[in-house]
A and B are shown apart, each in its own frame.
Chain A
Amino acid sequence: MKRCGTRWKTAALLLTAALAIPGCRPAPPEHKEIVIGLTVPSLSHPFFVCIKKHIEDEARKLGVKVLATDAEDVAAKQMAIVEDFIAQGVDGVVMAPIGAEVLVPAVESLNRAGIPVATVDRKVAGGDVLVHVGADNVEGGRIAVRYIVEKLGGKGAVIELEGTPGASPAVDRKTGFEEVLAASQVRLLASQTAEFYRAKGQSVMENLLQVHHDFQALYAANDEMVLGALEALAARGVPPGQVVTVGYDVIPDAARAIEEGRLTASIEQFPGQQARKALGLLVAQIRDGKPPPAKEIYLTPLAIDKHNLDKAEVKD
């Protein structure tokens, strides 16, 4: 009985709070300010922190307001965030969905509410999305291997570190990498997962070094893993630059490592530009009714090494 009472009290409280929220909002200004809801999988991941920073910067330039909430990598939470955006009456939503399938209902809710939505980085599998701006992870994997093949002069052996088993960027980057590799003279010596973690990258590389000594290149599906693997190579006494090392994402630590000559290259897929472009197209639609030039826009990834380091996005 006591529990039952508490539950009612909680419900009443929530209801009061819900009713109070619209009253709390400031009165709309004369020219109604455009408000955009931003939701990314996790604000504890540097990649999405970077997307948020670029969105906020672009929003200032465009004169729109951004609401951002952390979904903590939980799909149900991201769904609830989108529902909150609808309740708050935002004018548009920029979303990097946690999962392609699970966020379809969220997009459909936005469609029913007549709120346009743009996706960045990852796509959703259904609903009506105004525009998707992303990078092609399969293409990124291909670019990495083409870079390696060129650096090795067409022949040699490479070790691959894969991302989290089953995660879509891990699967896509591996697919592109191994597809082009199979068509080249460069041999895949070993491929193991280090789950996108730096510490794992170090220990998996230490283990692989027990068996493999004759390889000329190392590819990791993100920079964290390659930075861990570089520690393992250094501890083994492999001089920097002897092995062609390629990471992915050009995080600040990796950019520094490229500058210092410890890391050969990293694949840049311009998360900042993706985010800015998505927001720009969304605002153009809301403000001027101008539809985007295409439903899906892909920025081409680029291999960044010390010769074109200035082309990398600043991420910290």
Chain B
Amino acid sequence: MAEGLKRSAILLGFLGVVAALSVSSPAFLTPTNLLNIVRQSSIHGIMAVGMTLVILTSGIDLSVGSALALTGVLAASLEHRGWPVPLVVAAALLIGSLLGLANGLVITKGRVPPFVVTLGTMSIFRGAAHLFTGAQPISGFSPAFRSLGAGTVLRIPVPIILFVLSVVAAAALLRRTRWGRYLYAVGGNLQAARLSGIPVERCTTTAYVLCGLTAAAGAVVLTARLGAAESIAGTGYELDVIASVVIGGTSLAGGRGGVWGTLLGALLIGTINNGMNLLQIPAYFQLVVKGAIIIAAVLLDRLRIAADS
């Protein structure tokens, strides 16, 4: 963990933003607001954990926002049919994994670039979600289901717990399993990985399956939190999710980075969104600020790496 953070300037940037906001808004540095920020970052954050694995293979998954919409509306309809909550969640995670598997198989077996495949499935999953719902929202869920997004355990909101659990699980997978080490090898040097006998295709496909799984987890949390599933949900989420990963110091070229940086990246994006609302930054200006911060974070990281080597 320390290794990952040392290499990344993200922590510095994050603390800088926090300090600036604490000075400019008295409402910022309060326990309820901090909890509020982490809770709001959870959905992008959970999805960004899966995205980190994909980006480590030097791939990309543009379909996560659409996968969220599709698994969200399917899970919502199962809940409406009276399925028990654990079964609804299991079904959603299974569906998400299958969507990821489809991405992974076309990418590895069909040898089609991930950008193209997931650009295609981004449209297919979205279309399927619209077809399934007729573009009408599905709302009204049992309190048990709602608690997955709106509930708390020991006063900590459930989305935050799920976010932290997914980061810890992914970090363990990356550091403590052979698959995790393979993943870095695949993204670092594909040819070398293949020659040294690493099952490159299976490793890569697994990363997309887990990315689909986290998109589904994001869908469950979002649907439960909002109390509604919509086929337009998650539109544009891929951008915030990819930004979280990249700001967190994972290289788009693959092979370098990790999920702890992603955790900070997701929190930084959440903090900026929150801060802009607190400071009442006008809408048009918000777009400019957000883009500038993404570029600045990555530039800072680049400078840091250049200085290290």
Closest beta carbon of chain A to B280's beta carbon, Å: 6
Would A211 and B278 be within 8 Å (CB), given that A49-B135, A165-B287 are in contact? yes
Closest beta carbon of chain B to A1's beta carbon, Å: 23
Q: How far is the CA of A316 from the CA of B139 in the complex (A)?
A: 14
Can you list, as one digit per residue, whether each of A133-172 has a CB less than 8 Å from chain B (1) or not (0)? 0000000000000000000000000000010011000000
Beta-carbon contact of B278 and A210 below 8 Å: yes
| Closest CB pairs A-B (n = 7) | A207-B277, A193-B283, A165-B283, A44-B130, A211-B27, A210-B33, A210-B27
Beta-carbon contact of A198 and B150 below 8 Å: no
Beta-carbon contact of B277 and A204 below 8 Å: yes
Q: Any chain B CB within 8 A of the CB of A286?
A: no
Beta-carbon contact of A44 and B25 below 8 Å: no
Q: Count the A residues whose beta carbon is within 8 Å of the partner chain — how many?
A: 31
Q: How far is the CA of A49 from the CA of B228 in the complex (A)?
A: 19
Q: Any chain B CB within 8 A of the CB of A46?
A: yes
Closest beta carbon of chain A to B208's beta carbon, Å: 25
In the bound complex, residues from chain B placing their C-beta under 8 Å from that of A108 are none
Q: How far is the CA of A46 from the CA of B287 in the complex (A)?
A: 27
In the bound complex, residues from chain A placing their C-beta under 8 Å from that of B27 are 210-211
The stretch of B180-188, B229-237, B244-252, B297-305 that contacts the partner chain: B229-237
Looking at chain A's contact residues, is the secondary structure mostly helix, strand, loop, or mixed? helix
Taking CB atoms and an 8 Å cut-off, the chain A residues in 200-227 that contact chain B are: 202-204, 206-208, 210-211, 224, 227
In the bound complex, residues from chain A placing their C-beta under 8 Å from that of B280 are 190-192
Chain B interface (Cβ < 8 Å from any Cβ of A):
25, 27-28, 30, 32-33, 36, 40, 126, 130, 134-137, 139, 150, 222, 225-228, 230-233, 235, 273-274, 277-278, 280, 283-284, 286-287
Would A206 and B226 be within 8 Å (CB), given that A165-B287, A193-B283, A197-B232 are in contact? no
In the bound complex, residues from chain B placing their C-beta under 8 Å from that of A121 are none
| Closest partner residue, chain A, to B123 (CB atom) | A72
Q: Any chain B CB within 8 A of the CB of A45?
A: yes
Beta-carbon contact of B277 and A166 below 8 Å: no
Would A203 and B278 be within 8 Å (CB), given that A210-B32, A235-B150 are in contact? no
Would A203 and B135 be within 8 Å (CB), given that A165-B287, A210-B278, A211-B278 are in contact? no
Query: Apart from A46-B136, A49-B134, what are 8 other A-B pairs with CB-CB below 8 Å?
Result: A44-B130, A46-B135, A190-B280, A192-B283, A207-B40, A207-B273, A208-B277, A235-B150
